[in-house]
Amino acid sequence: MVSVKLLTCALLSSTVIAQNVTLRYMPFGDSITEIICWRAMLWEKLQSTEFASVNWVGSGRTDNNCGDSKYDRDHEGHSGFLAINIANNKQLVGWLQRNPADVITMHLGTNDIVQQNKPVNQIIAAFTTLVDVMRASNPNMKIIVRILLRPDSEIRVD
Domain extent, residue 29, equals 4-13+22-62+72-157
Asked whether residue 67 is assigned to any structural domain, the reply reads: no
Is there a domain that residue 115 lies in?
Answer: yes
Convert the pLDDT of each residue in 18-68 to its tens digit. 455 789 999 999 998 888 888 888 888 888 988 889 999 999 987 767 776
Q: What is the pTM of this model?
A: 0.83
Whether 135 is covered by a domain: the verdict is: yes
pLDDT at residue 18, rounded to an integer: 45
Number of structural domains the chain divides into:
1
Instruction: Give the list of residues 6+ apart from residue 67 with CB closer than 8 angstroms, or none.
Output: none
Q: H-helix or E-strand containing 34?
A: helix 31-34
> Rounded to whole angstroms, how far apart are CA atoms 136 and 126?
15
pLDDT in tens, 54-74: 999 999 987 767 776 788 889
pLDDT digits (tens, 9 = 90+) for 96-135: 999 999 999 999 988 998 888 999 899 999 999 999 999 9
Nearest CA among 116, 99, 95, 113 for reference residue 151:
113
- Residue 109 in contact with residue 31, Cβ under 8 Å? no
What CATH number is given to the structural domain containing 31?
3.40.50.1110
- Domain annotation covers residue 144: yes
